[in-house]
Structure 1
């Protein structure tokens, strides 16, 4: 049941482009058909039959591929949702107890018996987790806070089952039985045994260690949820209203209109600056008002660090409990525990990559800062040394100077519908995957409803055969939707005991600016375009899997530091001139993007890449340090997490560091998500994604477009198809034909090889 435990911590696969790119900052069934396995179990166990109807009738399970969001949104109040989930959890516990009596050392007698049950529980919890991210409300929060600990207990019950562990261990140690399993089944069993050990199966029943371990697991799930809610609340709470438009000199008319609409949304007069990134990012890059930039910057780096919404004690408790949990499991540090299930395997291997990238990037970063400082001093009359609130602004003005075009002007050529069609053209022409949006009549026919009117639903096919679907929620809604971008799971592909195959369905969530009016589409910043491609890459890996077993299907079971390869790979197409041409066109006139603008975007991948790489290295090093060497303070005079951050910053951050910097209090990736002791995964994966794209460059150089299509099929049949069913090193060898990854591709693409 490791999937439920991981799901409770975080199911989403998040995008880090906001951190990396910014220098500053169908039909619901009356009841699902009972799979054959559960029918048999119901006959054998009367308790199954008594509970089957009642718990399956809850709205969180009364669907097959598409949840009925039209009604579910109104079903999240604790009065309705908590009893529903109590039924689901209680039925699952009872079913597991009955199954537990029948475990035997075969595939069908272990994993095969649990797949249907695990899938149902995961799907139900997934809906609530999803709504917490895109339709956040007091009701959703309250419900999640009440039922999440019960899901943790359920997961622990299943992962601490001695009959299950003994049956799997016997199967693993019986050569005649083991040899009958295919390689994917063997990998799943190995991972299940490992995950059960990490879930505390080794503790004696009733022991103090087991009791404490379970208490820690439940508390950590609560703290992760609290951390994320605090960040959301702090982001929503801050607003700075400007009534004198002269204070916003440098901001474009389009952005000023956005600020005005932001004020109207919040019920205030004037122009309102908030900390959600579609507002914060453009403001910090374009506003001439240095004093105001400083104020907004300091508000951002101190959010969720004061008063009733203070994540510092949450961080300390998380780190303390993770340290205790690792010790209980026999690991020296939380980082050692985390890395033991990743491709890197050890902290030293992760740090070795980071140190190598540091050596390659720091000379470039230092020169970039010299260039920025000179430009800011001579052209913008900026005081030196540049302060953190200057860096984004000076960088954007310098980029305009070098490449002639500002971000707002470029966005006029990236109308969302055009970009989306271009993205689907890449999928079709390069990978042989066809995507089309479902029309309202088709959604109605299939019984598909949405949680917001802006949500779109898409069908994914290959050679005329439908393979998957995904929801697209693309626009920012600060009042109810978390910031950032992510992919998450609705359903996972797997073959039932009846022979029926559930198709994969995904969520693709972004936070780009919404359309300004009915006559103007959403105009995307270039980083929004890259983010869309990134998240679609995650979706493709989930949707195009050929694995029949849920624990290793799609993104399930993929090592955390390899799961970003498919997403980062897709970003590369945003730097291809021919694809930029296909993605773009002026939203009013339809005219093509000027070639010098295209060239500027192509060169943009190298622009300030040294500083951007250092920024990612800093986050990664801080993450590893906090989860390996750092000890949370027990007294007022001991070093804090912010002291550790500042110490590492002396090496990795070239601009002055503010003593009041509390960015860690909003670092949701590692404290509110699944990237703790794993943030390095972005750079680790990026070495592989760059090398993967280099394979396409080589194929194109040798065979032209036919070579690209051939390589696309090869990529589709390996990186996308094999999912978590094959070890990443074996996937890589099948795709690239060699064991090693060539880091020079990443350095070359980033302009750091010169």
Structure 2
């Protein structure tokens, strides 16, 4: 965490200087304060990377997106998905079997559209885990993948925004972690028993492919012209992806280090000294300082009621792991072979092996920050 903060901070300082200059020159805010920054940053983002999310959405019909997702899975792992008619809880739910060399190895329910009474958000969970019973019978894994995309209207096909495509790939990554397991002990097969700070590796890993132009172009078709997503529009989207990335990362380091530091304290010290602990962390990593009356820590519910006690760092750690894993594919001349190793060493083993050992088995070394920094646009972040 300290190393990532140190290497990201110079880029955060550049981000901050850019916001201040824009606020002075374009917003008539001579000395922007902490409460001005979100407003100024959004105005700057619009000025630099203006593009229409509505126009982007016109390029991505759900049928093409799913076909592109399935094609990517086949490219990585040689797995095919075949739709099958089974009992479902709503007419919009679809079921797909995963097949390897013609043999069924698992299945997934996809419930993709919002509707009245449905819980919001997006998630994946296991319906059945792979397990071998005492009589030798093998239960194949089944998952359900739930999203809340805008449903089709009339005879028009549903279309997804780029953020929704990212969500779909993310949750599919979780699903593949559960479905491609080779472990027969139910407590550690699939996603079961995987450490908190590694469970997001397969999901965030899949997000990377949605930032490849060739992948997006393959799944795009404009609703009026049938044209693929223009490269110029993609370039704007990609540039906006890392907007203010330096400030975002050091802010995450502030949260993660504060969380880690207070849980290193004795209970009494934690209660009495948290303002001094937070101030010390901010002096190291932050490029902006809130006013003295700010009480951010009192509403930092993640680390008190949200289950992240001393674990907030896992957000950034999962990004480190996923970026480094994806870099293996960037470096490889044989995607299928690299995909086979990722399956064997990461997805197949579930919680049966320590996640750090699994990552080293795949990458051949300890995780490195370099790929995350490079993907964040931080060239030469020594």
TM-score, structure 2 length as denominator?
0.85
RMSD: 3.2
Match of 1:464 among 93, 102, 113: 102
Aligned counterparts, 1:182-201, within 5 A: none
Aligned counterparts, 1:605-684, within 5 A: 605-629=241-265, 631=267, 639=272, 648=281, 652-655=285-288, 657=290, 659=293, 665=299, 667=301, 669-684=302-317
1:434 match: 80
The offset of 1:523, in angstroms, is 4.5
2:183 match: 547
Show CA shifts across 1:538-592 (max 9, x none).
1111100011111221112222222222112111111212112123332443321
Is 1:743 the counterpart of 2:369? The answer is: yes
1:273 match: none
Contact residue 416 and residue 521 of structure 1 kept, 8 A: yes
Match of 2:335 among 702, 708, 730: 708
Show CA shifts across 1:147-185 (max 9, x none).
xxxxxxxxxxxxxxxxxxxxxxxxxxxxxxxxxxxxxxx
Report the secondary structure of 1:723's partner residue.
coil
Report the secondary structure of 1:559's partner residue.
coil
Higher RCO by CA contacts (8 Å cutoff, separation 6 or greater)? 2
Contact residue 396 and residue 406 of structure 1 kept, 8 A: no
2:58 match: 412
1:704 match: none
Is 1:569 the counterpart of 2:216? The answer is: no
- In structure 2, runs of 5+ residues without a counterpart are none
Distance 1:473 1:401, change over 3 A: same
- Tell me, in whole angstroms, the C-alpha distance in 2 between the residues paired with 1:581 and 1:537: 21
Show CA shifts across 1:490-510 (max 9, x none).
211011112211111223233
The offset of 1:368, in angstroms, is 0.9
Distance 1:469 1:397, change over 3 A: farther
Is 1:481 the counterpart of 2:119? The answer is: yes
The offset of 1:735, in angstroms, is 1.7
Contact residue 456 and residue 472 of structure 1 kept, 8 A: yes
Count of aligned pairs: 379
Q: Which has the higher helix share?
A: 1
Show CA shifts across 1:282-317 (max 9, x none).
xxxxxxxxxxxxxxxxxxxxxxxxxxxxxxxxxxxx
The offset of 1:454, in angstroms, is 4.3
The offset of 1:434, in angstroms, is 1.6
Is 1:690 the counterpart of 2:330? The answer is: no
The offset of 1:385, in angstroms, is 0.9
Report the secondary structure of 1:724's partner residue.
coil
- Tell me, in whole angstroms, the C-alpha distance in 2 between the residues paired with 1:505 and 1:552: 15
2:130 match: 493
The offset of 1:357, in angstroms, is 0.6
TM-score, structure 1 length as denominator?
0.46
Contact residue 282 and residue 289 of structure 2 kept, 8 A: no
Distance 1:422 1:625, change over 3 A: same
Contact residue 320 and residue 367 of structure 2 kept, 8 A: yes
Show CA shifts across 1:102-121 (max 9, x none).
xxxxxxxxxxxxxxxxxxxx
- Tell me, in whole angstroms, the C-alpha distance in 2 between the residues paired with 1:611 and 1:574: 23
2:10 match: 363
Is 1:753 the counterpart of 2:379? The answer is: yes
2:25 match: 378
Contact residue 454 and residue 473 of structure 1 kept, 8 A: yes
